[in-house]
């Protein structure tokens, strides 16, 4: 195209991101250009902009790159050989990379793909710009009638929550109880996904009374300020500090499922002789699979899951990140470029 666009980029390790003028990406065979309708901001963006360069380089990330990994928009150009999406179609974009051909990918476990350390918005160009390029149609999730302006967070916050519920689901048969620790963006989604897809009794845990009220409104059966009880069938810990891990494990029954989502840096103490429930499964997850993104988009299309959004213009993205960092947002921040 030869045109340029503003993009909010990590320009060098250890430096704050900057708004930079960059070329609109050219579209090669098999590729698709999407005009961004909305891009969600994620707490992990803050982590990656403050991350030491050695970590980013060890992960294979290339600077500079455009931030933003919760992207949805409309197809504006398709490369040669693209037949499954058309110009004008609303799509969301997957953020994690995956090869599509390794044993994990072929089994639908693309969240474990060894080629998944980079993603759109972390190590590759993301959605905080007018346009974003999809390397192949494997990256695209058609949205149907769902509004692409607010669909981006479904691909990361929504899909990660869905993945957590899926990894706990085997223990959530009739009469089961599940505890969700941390009712922020992901926790709110986890409660909705549990309500929509299981009959489990849902106990929401958060120290903030407003968030507890929110959890009850979204379908939790009970909302408490800290984990209590025993013989719980599954725990989804979205905080992940020492105290939540310890209390969550103490509440879990033998053979239950503990899913660790939160990046709070907590550890597992004394794994032998009483520290961990016997025969429990402990699943650390970092990102969703494509199937999770697809499933949560389908739930959103039926109205069973929704994301509360606070909109920002691209010019206000630095202010939006400050609000995210300060914890003053009222919903998921979404930048409308
Ligand atoms: Zn994220
Ligand atoms: Zn793979």
Instruction: Report the alpha-carbon distance of residue 16 to residue 46 in Å, rounded.
Output: 10
Q: Which ligand is nearest to the CA of 115?
A: 2
Q: At what angle do helices 185-197 and 209-217 cross, to 10 degrees?
A: 30
Asked whether residue 142 carries a pLDDT value surpassing 90, the answer given is yes
Any idea what DSSP says for residue 161?
Answer: H
Q: How far is the CA of 253 from the centre of ligand 1 (A)?
A: 30
Instruction: Report the alpha-carbon distance of residue 113 to residue 60 in Å, rounded.
Output: 14
Coil, strand or helix: which one is 292?
Answer: helix
Query: Which segments of 135-229 does DSSP mark as H helices, in order?
Result: 157-168, 185-197, 209-217
Q: How far is the CA of 71 from the centre of ligand 2 (A)?
A: 21
Instruction: Note whether 94 and 118 are within 8 A (CB).
Output: no
Q: Which ligand is nearest to the CA of 109?
A: 2
Residue 276: pLDDT band (50, 70, 90) is: confident
Q: Per-residue DSSP letters for 208-250?
A: -HHHHHHHHHTT-SEEESS---S-EEEEEESS-SHHHHHHHHH
Instruction: Report the alpha-carbon distance of residue 291 to residue 204 in Å, rounded.
Output: 25
Q: Which ligand is nearest to the CA of 102?
A: 2
Q: Summarize pLDDT for 81-93 with one digit per residue, the tens.
A: 999 999 999 999 9
Q: Summarize pLDDT for 231-274 with one digit per residue, the tens.
A: 999 999 999 999 999 999 999 999 999 999 998 889 887 766 66
Q: How far is the CA of 313 from the centre of ligand 2 (A)?
A: 35
Q: How far is the CA of 69 from the centre of ligand 1 (A)?
A: 6
Q: Summarize pLDDT for 187-241 with one digit per residue, the tens.
A: 999 999 999 999 999 999 999 999 999 999 999 999 999 998 899 999 999 999 9
Q: Summarize pLDDT for 163-176 with one digit per residue, the tens.
A: 999 999 999 999 99
Q: Which ligand is nearest to the CA of 332?
A: 1
Q: What is the pLDDT of residue 274?
A: 67
Give every CB contact of residue 202 below 8 A, 6+ residues apart in sequence.
Answer: 177, 178, 180, 191, 194, 195, 219, 220, 221, 222
């Amino acid at each position: 195209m030869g045109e340029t666009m503003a993009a909010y980029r990590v320009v060098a390790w250890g430096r704050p991101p900057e708004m930079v003028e960059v070329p609109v990406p050219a579209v090669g065979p098999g590729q698709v250009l999407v005009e961004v309708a909305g891009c969600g901001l994620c707490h992990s963006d803050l982590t990656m902009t403050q991350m030491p360069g050695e970590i980013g380089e060890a992960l294979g990330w290339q600077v500079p790159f455009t931030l933003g990994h919760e992207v949805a928009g409309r197809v504006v150009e398709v490369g040669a050989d693209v037949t499954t999406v058309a110009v004008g179609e609303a799509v969301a974009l997957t953020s994690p990379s995956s090869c599509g051909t390794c044993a994990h990918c072929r089994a639908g476990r693309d969240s474990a793909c060894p080629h998944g350390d980079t993603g759109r918005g972390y190590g590759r160009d993301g959605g905080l710009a007018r346009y974003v390029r999809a390397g192949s149609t494997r990256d695209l999730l058609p949205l149907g009638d769902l509004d692409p302006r607010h669909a981006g967070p479904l691909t990361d916050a929504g899909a990660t929550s869905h993945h957590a519920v899926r990894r706990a689901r085997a223990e959530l048969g009739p009469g089961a109880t599940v505890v969700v620790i941390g009712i922020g963006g992901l926790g709110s989604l986890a409660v909705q996904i549990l309500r929509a897809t299981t009959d489990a009794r849902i106990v929401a845990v958060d120290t903030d009374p407003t968030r507890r009220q929110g959890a009850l409104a979204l379908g939790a059966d009970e909302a408490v300020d800290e984990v209590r009880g025993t013989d719980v069938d599954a725990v989804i810990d979205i905080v992940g500090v020492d105290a939540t891990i310890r209390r969550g494990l103490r509440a879990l029954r033998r053979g239950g499922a503990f899913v660790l989502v939160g990046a709070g840096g907590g550890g597992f103490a004394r794994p032998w002789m009483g520290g961990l429930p016997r025969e429990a499964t402990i699943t650390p997850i970092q990102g969703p699979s494509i199937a999770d993104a697809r499933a949560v988009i389908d739930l959103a299309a039926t109205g069973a899951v929704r994301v509360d959004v606070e909109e920002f213009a691209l010019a206000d993205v630095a202010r939006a990140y400050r609000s995210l960092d300060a914890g003053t947002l009222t919903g998921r921040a979404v930048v409308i470029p």
